[in-house]
Structure 1
Amino acid sequence: MRTDEARGGSDEWGEPAEHARFAEYLSDLQQVADADEFALVRTVLDDPDRTMAQSAVVRHVDRRAADLHRRPGFVPWAEEMTAAAGGHHPFLTRRLEEWSLFRALELGRAWRPEALLNASDWLQRKAAETSSNATALELLAVHGRTRRIRTTADGNRP
């Protein structure tokens, strides 16, 4: 990772430095070994462009959580990822909480209806599109935040 020399200006083609760093962070996060993942996440989140850095990490979290959410290793991974965020990235923390809620829906674990109703459009849409949890689909079909969520959930009810 070339974070030090790539922090300012633009490259020879006029691409802003943060675009190059974003692409490099995504590549590094995709290839990182499990043992080095949280250290790399902390490094990325230390970037001066907080919005860009958080966006790269959220993409990584979504990719990893999609692979892990049905596995026993998800809970310790999510806890460590939350710790890596250090409490300074509320959007990232919320996304991790929503992945935990989605996991509970998918595995038939305990969850609270108000948690789903207060969840982001992203999670409500994801649950409406992909969940097989009949209770969640019923709830979203009636009370989903947007018409799209309600219609999708209604069409996917068993």
Structure 2
Amino acid sequence: MHSDENNETVEPAEHMRFARYIDALAQVPPARETALIADVLADPDRAMAESAVTRHLDRRATELLADPEFPVWTASMGDTVARFPFLTRRLAEWSLFRAVSATGGHWEPGALIAATDWLQRKVSEHSASPQALRTLAEHGRTRRVRNAARARLNG
């Protein structure tokens, strides 16, 4: 924040755009979601735009986790964010989280071992899968993940 000539605090433009993006993404109808995300990702402040879209993807993935349309949604989002490696990985990790935690789908332990700290923490704190928890108790990247997985296994 900075001050203008009247000594009032003025919100930086990127903060105002971020807030507008978050608000618009929270209200977007499904039919316009990919178009709005593409518009947000066209913002010249790439870090801010990716942050807004990450927040949206996390919110929507949480809402859709048990929905049979989740794979359709992730495919359409994947096409929309394909030029953005972080967002692409985040979607892939949401799919892995869904397989491990929500649907009991097929997944490979190696994928969980190679996952980001974010996903390993999420699985260790929220999954009821004994296989996932054993995998993280033994091979989790951080002590926090290993301890959380062990505690869930033993609790």
- Calculate the TM-score normalised by the size of structure 2: 0.92
Q: Is 1:80–2:62 an aligned residue pair?
A: no
- Aligned-partner Cα distance in 2 for 1:70–1:140: 23
Q: Is 1:108–2:104 an aligned residue pair?
A: yes
Tell me the equivalent position of 2:136.
140
User: Following superposition, which runs of at least 4 residues in structure 1 exceed 4 angstroms of deviation?
Assistant: none
Q: Is 1:96–2:91 an aligned residue pair?
A: yes
Structure 2 residue ranges without an equivalent (≥5) = none
**C-alpha deviations, 1:29-60, integer Å up to 9, x for none?**
00111111110000000000011000000000
Secondary structure of the 1:157 match is helix
- Aligned-partner Cα distance in 2 for 1:130–1:105: 10
Bigger Cα displacement from structure 2, 47-56 vs 106-115: 106-115
CA deviation after TM superposition for structure 1 residue 124, in Å: 0.2
Quick one: which amino acid aligns to residue 104 of structure 1? A
Structure 1 residue ranges without an equivalent (≥5) = 1-9
Q: How does 1:21-100 map to 2 (within 5 A)?
A: 21-85=17-81, 87-100=82-95
- Aligned-partner Cα distance in 2 for 1:119–1:35: 31
- Calculate the TM-score normalised by the size of structure 1: 0.90
- Aligned-partner Cα distance in 2 for 1:100–1:61: 12
Secondary structure of the 1:54 match is helix
**C-alpha deviations, 1:1-47, integer Å up to 9, x for none?**
xxxxxxxxx98732210000001100000011111111000000000
Match of 1:19 among 15, 18, 33: 15
Q: How does 1:116-155 map to 2 (within 5 A)?
A: 116-155=112-151
CA deviation after TM superposition for structure 1 residue 154, in Å: 0.5
